[in-house]
């Protein structure tokens, strides 16, 4: 059987595409060539050395013939070492060592001794196999728990090349891996607790509103006021991931190669906190070859925390506009265009000036007006417009710092968030994502509410986008109160969360 076919998968974004692996062997005199065609990258071309050693060290030998491997379709670039296993099995099939199978997809990197190393994107490959009607998926053992999350496909975790050969020749002797446990198993109370934060009652209230409506938030205050402490406890008051959210989030982390070996669905909402030296490709995604997901996609269904916001390069911050507005990021290359989901909650923190003490009642600010405006100007008005809640976080008073009174715990706050979000789920979307056509209906105002909104827009010079976000925040506050309509008091509280427009940028 000189020609043998197997199937694998190539990753494009968070999705995978079936790749046919065709292996042909033929006599070629005294030379033995190993040629791979079909747009392979360097890692795929180098697989010939890994495959040769793995076959020999596993006891199967290596054919005394030339080998040509075609990865089809030929116009799609193939990247990574995950093609090692299907290529090796194609060679063994051409040597009549294994039987052909029409309902099998393989992926895995080979070590020189024939053992299998984990690959990126096993979950996406399992979803691809299910979509294409392929019943069985063979992956390295460390990827089995991850891939088994995709229902409707039998996932088999393999340790080495010998075990794969045994499976192909006697598949009935193997049992598929059991699906990993769902995201409900995450102990939410294990996260850092808001009850440990002294003072900052107004900031906690604003973060409760942000979590309840999935709103973006920015905190401004002097060094040591607790902005980072508050941000790191924010994910602990968000509701648990649903199965659909966990599946999509796990796919992104799988494609990025960030899942720990043997892990299944991600149980906790992601919390990403990139350093301010991050590049635009690191934040939004990209890189050489097939683009990889960036921090905004790794924070999908979770929190993206940007500390010291003005220290980020301005060109990087400006590129946040698309994912904040569209909940996705599109990366265009000359040979492909990929979109990554990026529906995250932005939590940003910053000082009011370079020294950090502008407006502080206890410390003197040494910055001039021009320096302060230049510093604040690093965060543009259009970006600020896309952030729903603006919070001032003052220094904590000594009495609060040393007091024994404990604040509201994260578990209590999370209960209120879940109640508000259940109300919003019945409408079909969270308040931060209410489409424009539904906004007037969901945020109908009485005369007092209209006067409050008009006064805020006129006095603060708010844009049309800020006007809409003000209404959405008001709707969230009403949901927390269990109110059917948005009243003037709900809007008045929402207006308080636009303080930066009035106190700093204007």
Q: Is the predicted pLDDT of residue 395 greater than 70, yes or no? A: yes
Query: What's the CA gap between 228 and 393, in Å, rounded?
Result: 11
CB 149 within 8 A of CB 247: yes
80 φ/ψ sector (left φ>0, alpha ψ -120 to 50, else beta): left
* CA-based torsion, 499, 502, 504, 506: positive or negative: positive
Strands 292-293 and 285-286 come out as antiparallel
Of 122-131, 350-359, 396-405, 458-467, give the lowest mean pLDDT range: 396-405
Residue 349 dihedral angles phi and psi, to the nearest 5°? -140, 145
Contacts of 150 (CB under 8 A, 6+ apart): 123, 126, 127, 129, 130, 247
- At 333 the pLDDT is 78
Please state which CATH class domain 3-173 belongs to: alpha beta
- Higher local confidence (pLDDT), 2 or 78: 78
Q: DSSP 3-state helix, strand, coil percentages of the chain (rounded to 5)?
A: 45, 20, 40
Q: What angle do CA 263, 269, 273 make, to 5 degrees?
A: 100
Question: How many H helices and E strands in the chain?
Answer: 22, 18
Mean pLDDT on 411-426: 93
Neighbours of 84 (CB within 10 A): 28
In sequence order, what are the beta bridge partners of 498?
390
3-state SS class at 237: helix
Residue carrying the six token digits 């207006």: 495
Q: What is the pTM of this model?
A: 0.88
Please say whether the beta carbons of 280 and 321 come within 8 A: no
Domain 188-505's class? alpha beta
Which pLDDT value is given to residue 502? 54
Q: At 187, is the pLDDT very low, low, confident or very high (cuts 50, 70, 90)?
A: very low
Residues 6+ apart with CB under 8 A from 373: none
Which residues does 199 contact at the CB level (< 8 Å), separation at least 6? 226, 396, 397, 400, 401, 407
Give the pLDDT confidence of 204-226 residue by residue, as tens digits: 999 999 999 999 999 999 998 88
Q: Average pLDDT for residues 381-386, to the nearest whole number?
A: 87
pLDDT of 189: 45
Instruction: Tell me what the mean pLDDT of segment 197-203 comes to.
Output: 84
The residue extents of the domains of the chain are 3-173, 188-505
The set of long-range contacts for 172-178, using a CB threshold of 8 Å and a minimum separation of 24, is: 176/136, 176/148, 177/144, 177/145, 177/147, 177/148, 178/148
Q: For residue 64, count CB atoms less than 10 angstroms from its CB and return exposed for 0-12, middle for 13-18, buried for 19 or more.
A: exposed
Half-sphere exposure at residue 109, Cβ-oriented, CA atoms within 13 angstroms:
16
Tens of pLDDT along 235-245?
999 999 988 89
Residue 313 contacts residue 271 (beta carbons within 8 Å): no
* Cα–Cα distance for residue pair 67/80, rounded to 1 Å: 20
Alpha carbon 140 to chain centroid, angstroms? 24
Tens-digit pLDDT profile for residues 448-472:
888 888 888 888 888 888 888 899 9
| Candidate from 1-5, 24-28, 56-60 with smallest mean pLDDT | 1-5
| Per-residue pLDDT at 362 | 82
395 in Cβ contact with 362 (< 8 Å): yes
Length in residues, the chain: 506
**pLDDT tens-digit series, residues 280-335:** 889 998 877 778 899 999 999 999 999 999 999 998 999 999 899 899 998 887 77
Q: What percent of the chain has pLDDT over 70?
A: 93
First to last CA, the chain: 77
pLDDT > 90: what percent of the chain? 51
Q: How far apart are CA 425 and CA 463, in angstroms?
A: 28
3-class DSSP string for 157-188: EECEHHHHHHHHHCHHHCCCCCCCCCHHHCCH
């Amino acid at each position: 059987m000189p020609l043998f076919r197997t199937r694998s998968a190539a990753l494009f974004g968070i999705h995978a595409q079936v790749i046919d692996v065709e292996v042909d062997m033929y006599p070629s005199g005294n030379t033995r060539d190993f040629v791979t065609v079909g747009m392979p990258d360097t890692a795929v071309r180098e697989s010939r050395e890994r495959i040769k050693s793995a076959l020999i060290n596993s006891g199967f030998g290596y054919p005394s013939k030339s080998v040509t491997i075609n990865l089809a379709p030929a116009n799609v670039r193939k990247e990574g070492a995950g093609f090692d296993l299907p290529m090796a099995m194609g060679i063994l099939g051409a040597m009549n060592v294994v039987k052909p199978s029409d309902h099998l997809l393989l992926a895995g990197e080979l070590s020189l001794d024939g053992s299998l190393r984990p690959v990126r994107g096993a979950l996406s490959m399992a979803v691809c196999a299910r979509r294409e009607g392929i019943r069985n998926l063979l992956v390295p053992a460390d990827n089995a728990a991850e891939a088994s999350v995709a229902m409707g496909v039998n996932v088999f975790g393999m340790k080495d090349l010998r075990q794969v050969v045994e499976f192909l020749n006697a598949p009935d002797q193997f049992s598929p891996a059991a699906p990993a446990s769902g995201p409900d198993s995450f102990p939410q109370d294990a996260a850092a607790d808001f009850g440990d934060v002294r003072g900052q009652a107004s900031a906690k209230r604003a973060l409760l509103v942000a979590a309840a409506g999935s709103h973006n938030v920015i905190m401004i205050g002097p060094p040591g006021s607790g902005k980072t402490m508050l941000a790191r406890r924010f994910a602990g008051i968000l509701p648990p991931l649903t199965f659909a959210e966990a599946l999509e989030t796990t796919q992104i982390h799988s494609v990025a190669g960030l899942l720990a070996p043997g892990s299944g669905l991600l149980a906790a909402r992601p919390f990403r906190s990139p350093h301010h030296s991050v590049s635009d490709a690191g934040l939004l995604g990209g890189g050489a070859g097939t683009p990889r997901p960036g921090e905004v996609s790794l924070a999908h269904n979770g929190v993206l925390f940007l500390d010291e916001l003005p220290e980020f390069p301005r060109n990087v911050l400006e590129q946040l506009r698309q994912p904040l507005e569209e909940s996705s990021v599109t990366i265009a290359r000359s040979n492909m265009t990929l979109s990554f989901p990026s529906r995250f909650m932005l939590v940003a923190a910053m000082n009011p000036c370079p020294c950090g003490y502008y407006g502080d009642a206890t410390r003197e600010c040494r910055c001039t007006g021009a320096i302060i405006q230049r510093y604040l100007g690093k965060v543009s008005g259009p970006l600020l417009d896309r952030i729903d809640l603006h919070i001032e976080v003052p220094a904590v008073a000594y009495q609060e710092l040393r007091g024994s009174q404990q604040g509201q715990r994260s578990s209590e706050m999370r209960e209120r968030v879940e109640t508000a979000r259940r109300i919003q789920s019945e409408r079909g979307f969270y308040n931060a994502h209410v489409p424009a056509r539904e906004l007037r209906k969901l945020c109908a105002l009485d005369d007092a509410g209209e006067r409050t909104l008009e006064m805020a827009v006129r006095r603060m010079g708010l844009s049309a986008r800020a006007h809409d976000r003000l209404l959405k925040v008001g709707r969230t506050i009403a949901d927390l109160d269990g109110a059917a309509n948005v009243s003037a008091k709900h809007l008045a509280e929402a207006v308080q969360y636009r303080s930066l427009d009035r106190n700093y940028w204007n």
